[in-house]
Amino acid sequence: MLISLSTTIFCILHHPQLALSTKTNVMVEDSLLPLLYNRTQDSVVLITTKVNPVYLHRGPLATGTSASSESIDVPVARGSGFVYDKEGHIITNYHVLQGGTSVDVRFMDGNSYSARLIGKDPYSDLAVLQLDPLAIYNQRLIPLSLGNSSLLKVGQHAVAIGNPLGFSGTMTEGIISQLNAIIPVGGIYHARMIQIDVPTTHGNSGGPLLNLDGQVIGITELGLPQVGFLNFAIPADKVAKVVPQLISNGTYKNVWLGISGTDVTPDIAKAVGLNQAKGVIVIYVTPDSPAYTAGVRSGNNENRLMLYGSDSNINSDADIVVGIDDKQVRQQGDLLNYIDSKSPGDQVTLKVVRNKLILDLRAVLTERPSG
């Protein structure tokens, strides 16, 4: 139902308390956001990734690498990060540091320090830097606290502070647009992502996404360049799980099942004889993976489906995952988000449809192989 401007004016004229309430809300928000910025700005940093010409062919920034004195490093990328604790740990995105040989961290007050990479996880796109001792002694470190991203709701306000295009300490605001998004990046599916309409761009990566209480509910990661209102953040619950391992071990053990598949569409359901277009049909099972050991099958290539006049890479006798433990699997997101919440060594029960029969297959999840 459309509400006209005249209707709105009528409501305000005949219900002045509505106008007063609206004005009060705007005033509260106008005062709240500056307070939020003042509370958190000193915790957000500008990260400059540099390449030392001597090490141009070394590849990505190695754990423990710090600046070299042999020649002047050249800045190649800028991003954002935030103070995690009083020990000088800085959280950012892995891709902000990728390809560099040294890194500088600059605070909002203008102080700049060198830092070293102590932990990285390309799969979650998270990394931890350690400030040099001079920063820990001289800089007033104000850690940001992590919120509970599992409590987020669509429509909730969110605020990003970072360094878009190098403009230091920029605040932008919007809402949570969607939760548990699945985003493919470089062949890796990022699960449980927070979709936001908060304006972000290059340089925001690695910066905090905050609720109105100043808690970190996510880490700004990426956006779709062709659509300005679709941006994404790594949820705080994922950060809380990954970062302690990066600090203590330098790496994180990502969980792994070992299958690739696609959502069952009405056309696929019709071709394989399903009554409903639900589930994930298996396209490939990695040899010696947990799914392979559990007996998950991708079917026989002789039974390949032809969809829309071309080879679909789907076999008509492939397993269709319709459940995991007590959760229904309607699409890939259900499966990937659930697996992402588990740890290596956990056992899951996959409910699959095979040749119209329902089977329960038990798999013990393992650590994702590197590379």
Catalytic option among 80, 102, 168, 205: 205
The H or E element spanning position 261 is: strand 259-263
For residue 116, give the nearest of 105, 100, 103 by alpha carbon.
Answer: 103
The answer to whether the CB of 202 falls within 8 A of the CB of 167 is no
- Distance between CA atoms of 247 and 243, rounded to whole angstroms? 6
DSSP string, 132-165: -HHHHHHS---PPPB--GGG--TT-EEEEEE-GG
Q: Catalytic site residue 43?
A: no
Q: What proportions of the chain, in percent to the nearest 5, are helix, strand and coil? A: 25, 35, 35
Q: Which amino acid is at 52?
A: N
Interhelix angle 16-40/5-14, rounded to 10 degrees, is: 100
d(CA 350, CA 335): 10
Start-to-end CA span in the chain (Å): 53
Task: List phi, psi (to 5°) of 67.
Answer: -60, 145
Give how far Cα 179 sits from Cα of 152, 154, 175, 333, Å: 8, 7, 11, 11
For the question of residue 95 being annotated catalytic, the response is yes
Residue located via tokens 């002789």 = 302
Distance CA 340, CA 332 (A): 12
Q: Using alpha carbons only, how large is the chain's radius of gyration in Å?
A: 24
According to DSSP, the β-strands at 280-285 and 231-235 are unpaired
From 43, 80, 89, 95, active-site residue: 95
Q: Residue 104 catalytic?
A: no
Question: Which member of 121, 125, 319, 340 is catalytic?
Answer: 125
Give the span between the Cα atoms of 125 and 201, in whole angstroms.
17
Collect all residues with Cβ–Cβ distance below 8 Å to 89 and sequence separation of at least 6.
83, 118, 128, 129, 130, 131, 243, 247
Give me the active site residues, please: 95, 125, 205
